[in-house]
Structure 1
Amino acid sequence: MKVLLDLQYLNVATTGIKTYMLELAKAARKYPHPDIEWIFSHEPEKQAVDDSFKGTKSKIQKLNYHLDYFRWKEFQLPDLVKKFKPDVLICPDFVSPAASLPCRRLTVIHDAFFWQMPENYPRWWRKYFLNLIKKGLWEDTQIITTTEYSKNSLIEHLGNSWPISVVYQAPKGLTAAADTQCLRKLGLKKQEYFLHIGTFDRRKLLPLLVEAFAAFQNHSQSNKKLVLAGGPGQSKRMDDFPVVQKLVAELGLQDQILVPGYLSDGEIKSLYDGAFAYVFPSLNEGFGIPILESMGFGIPVIHSDQPALMEVAGGAGLPFQTGNRDDLTEKLILLDREKDLRSQLVTLGRERAKAFSAEKFIEAFHRIILNPTS
């Protein structure tokens, strides 16, 4: 059984989808199946560092990227199918070619954000991208998604025309050595900061976290800090980075809330190693990788009661009502005060993280590849 994995999108992918694609490729190599031959469209690590289209600013640059992506999906990828004659094509970035193909398709649609939150995307771009998605959903296609929540959301917006399977992904394998100077450079002490890692997309509700943290400090007189690591949102329409910066300044919390930007894997590993807790206030997620990364590091997690995060956490996190600043503040205070609760969450989290290994991730794909009805 020959399987072609489309890795073109790694040249611009960020955060969740990038992790998904890289970990899938790594797992395919680390845990080979005797009946499956994997073919990669690109060498994953090399494609991930290709910066030809990263950081595009001008309309011309963005147009060139979209043309390049369209050429790949509609012409170059079908040519690879003709060349390698795979039995299965996996497209892990929402879009499969509109061309007729002589093989099964497994198309990964990570979430239903394009349908659920249209206000977060430029109208013309959303219409164009949804058209690409729908044109690729035909012939012998099976949709793969990340959680039962995402599956139900996709059924609501796409109907039952295509079989949809849930495959739980593996968190990022942080193999780099921890940067031992990271905490010192940021002025942090172990167990003395709350952590969030990711883009400043509007749906992450990071201004809410800033406000809740300010209220937490007022109530508890704690010396703990808040670290918001990561870069701006993926578009001006979706970006809360300037909002957070302004809010931090207005609250006079520049010394207590750190916004260090993008960090290396070694620096991220160091932050996970030393954090008191991870806070994930998101309004909407398809999965929630940082929950598993945190639990794997033995860090308790406070998360919104958004369905996908509840599903991934599996009762091993401390939930608060989505969008409720006062409830989030109460959970920050509770975790800071109750040492036994923190210890309990650490134990539960470590056990929960074991259910999301790279081996289980690829085994789920193996079952679907070898048994189309699974």
Structure 2
Amino acid sequence: MKVLLDLQYLNVATTGIKTYMVELAKAARKYPHPEVHWIFTHEPEEQVKDEKFKQPQSKLQRLNYHMDYFRWKEFQLPDLVKKHGVDVLICPDFVSPAASLTCRRLTVIHDAFFWQIPQNYPAWWRKYFINLIKKGLKEKTHIITTTEYSKNSLLKYLSTEWPITAIYQAPKGLKNAADPQFLKKLELQPSEYFIHIGTFDRRKNIPLLVQAFWGYLQRTQSNKKLVLAGGPGQSKQMNDFPSVLKLVEKLGLQGKVLVTGYLKDAEVKALYEKAFAYVFPSENEGFGIPILESMGFGVPVIHSNQPALLEVAGEAGLPFQTGSLEDLTQKLILLDQDEKLRKNLIQKGKERSEDFSAKKFIDGFYQLILNPKTAEK
């Protein structure tokens, strides 16, 4: 059984989708199956290093990227399918070729954000991308998504002609040593800071976190800090980065809220290893990788009660009412003052993180690859 894994999108992918693609490729190699011959379109590590289209600075650069992506999906990828005599094509970036193919397709649609929150995307781009997604849903296609919440969300917007299966992904494997100087560079003390890692997309609700942290400081006189790691949102409509910087200044939180930008894996690992807690205030998620990363490092998690985050965290997180400033502030205070609760969350979190292994991740794919009837409606 020849399986072609499309890794082209790694040249621009960030955060969640990047992690998904890299960890899927790693799991395929770490846990080979005697009946499956994997073919990668690109070497993951090399494709991640390709800087040609990362963070385009002009409309021309963005146009060139979209043309390159279209050429890949509609001409080059179908050619590879024919060249290798592929039985199954896996596209982990929402889009499968519109061209007719002789093989089965496993297309990963991570969430329903394009339909649920249209205001976060440029209208023309959203229309174009949704059209690409739908044109690629043809022939023997099976949609894969990240959680039961995402599955149920997609069922509202896509034809029921295509079966959808939720496969839980594995978190990022931060195997290399942490940067021993990073906390010192930021003037952070162990267990004296909260963290949030991810892009400043509007749906992440980071301004709410900053306001809640300010309220927490006012009520507790704590010396803890808040570290916000990650880059700007992916479009002007989605980007809350400028708003967060203005809010930090308005509330006088300079030196208490640290905005670091994108970090290297060694720096991210250093943050996780010594953090007091991770805070995830997002209004909408398809999965929530940082929850599992945090729990794996023994870091308790405060998260919104958004369905996907509740599903991933199980009962191992401390939820608050999505969008509620007062409830989030109260949860920050509660975790700071209740050491027994914190230790309990740490223990439950470690146990929960073990449910999301690379082996289980790839086994979910093997189930669909090797059992074609599973993919039939």
Scaled to the shorter chain, the TM-score interval is over 0.9
1:373 offset after TM fit, Å? 3.3
Q: How far apart, in 1, do the equivalents of 2:248 and 2:186 lie?
A: 17
Q: How far apart, in 2, do the equivalents of 1:208 and 1:41 lie?
A: 41
Amino acid at match of 1:165: T
Q: How far apart, in 1, do the equivalents of 2:300 and 2:107 lie?
A: 33
Q: How far apart, in 2, do the equivalents of 1:179 and 1:324 lie?
A: 35
Specify the alignment match of 2:258 in structure 1.
258
Q: Deviations over 1:124-165 (max 9, x none)?
A: 000000000000001000000000000000001113110001
Specify the alignment match of 2:275 in structure 1.
275
Specify the alignment match of 2:174 in structure 1.
174
Counterpart of 1:160 in 2: which secondary structure?
Answer: coil
RMSD of equivalent CA atoms: 0.6
Counterpart of 1:158 in 2: which secondary structure?
Answer: coil
Amino acid at match of 1:153: S
Q: How far apart, in 1, do the equivalents of 2:254 and 2:231 lie?
A: 17
Q: How far apart, in 1, do the equivalents of 2:250 and 2:11 lie?
A: 37
Q: How far apart, in 2, do the equivalents of 1:67 and 1:347 lie?
A: 49
Q: How far apart, in 2, do the equivalents of 1:318 and 1:159 lie?
A: 36
Q: Deviations over 1:278-311 (max 9, x none)?
A: 0000000000000000000000000000000000
Q: Deviations over 1:27-73 (max 9, x none)?
A: 00000000000000011110011001001021111000000000000
Q: How far apart, in 2, do the equivalents of 1:182 and 1:132 lie?
A: 42
Q: How far apart, in 1, do the equivalents of 2:159 and 2:223 lie?
A: 51
Amino acid at match of 2:33: H
1:348 offset after TM fit, Å? 0.2
Specify the alignment match of 1:344 in structure 2.
344
Q: How far apart, in 2, do the equivalents of 1:53 and 1:373 lie?
A: 39
TM (norm. structure 1) is: 0.99
1:105 aligns with 2:105: yes
Amino acid at match of 1:362: I
Counting only pairs closer than 5 Å after superposition, residues 211-290 of structure 1 correspond to structure 2 as 211-290=211-290
Specify the alignment match of 2:78 in structure 1.
78
Counting only pairs closer than 5 Å after superposition, residues 1-374 of structure 1 correspond to structure 2 as 1-374=1-374
Q: How far apart, in 2, do the equivalents of 1:308 and 1:49 lie?
A: 31
1:236 offset after TM fit, Å? 1.4
Aligned length: 374
Counterpart of 1:13 in 2: which secondary structure?
Answer: coil
Q: How far apart, in 2, do the equivalents of 1:194 and 1:119 lie?
A: 30
Counterpart of 1:157 in 2: which secondary structure?
Answer: coil
Counterpart of 1:373 in 2: which secondary structure?
Answer: helix
1:235 offset after TM fit, Å? 1.1
- Percent of aligned pairs sharing the same letter: 73
5+ long unaligned stretches in structure 2: none
Counterpart of 2:200 in 1: which secondary structure?
Answer: coil
1:175 offset after TM fit, Å? 1.5
1:237 offset after TM fit, Å? 1.3
Counterpart of 2:372 in 1: which secondary structure?
Answer: coil
Amino acid at match of 1:28: A
Amino acid at match of 2:200: F
Worse overlay, 153-162 or 182-191: 153-162
Q: How far apart, in 2, do the equivalents of 1:63 and 1:262 lie?
A: 25
Q: Deviations over 1:62-120 (max 9, x none)?
A: 00000000000000000000100111000000000000000000000000000000000
TM (norm. structure 2) is: 0.99
1:372 offset after TM fit, Å? 2.4
Q: How far apart, in 2, do the equivalents of 1:179 and 1:373 lie?
A: 48
Q: How far apart, in 2, do the equivalents of 1:72 and 1:263 lie?
A: 29
Q: Deviations over 1:203-243 (max 9, x none)?
A: 00000000000000001111111000111111111110000
Counterpart of 1:236 in 2: which secondary structure?
Answer: coil
Counterpart of 1:282 in 2: which secondary structure?
Answer: coil
Counterpart of 1:161 in 2: which secondary structure?
Answer: coil
Counterpart of 2:47 in 1: which secondary structure?
Answer: helix
Q: How far apart, in 1, do the equivalents of 2:363 and 2:139 lie?
A: 25
Q: How far apart, in 2, do the equivalents of 1:187 and 1:269 lie?
A: 16
Counterpart of 2:249 in 1: which secondary structure?
Answer: helix
Q: Deviations over 1:257-290 (max 9, x none)?
A: 0001111100000000010000000000000000
Amino acid at match of 2:23: E
Q: How far apart, in 2, do the equivalents of 1:97 and 1:304 lie?
A: 36
5+ long unaligned stretches in structure 1: none
Counterpart of 1:196 in 2: which secondary structure?
Answer: strand
Amino acid at match of 1:218: Q
Worse overlay, 51-60 or 140-149: 51-60
Counterpart of 1:349 in 2: which secondary structure?
Answer: helix
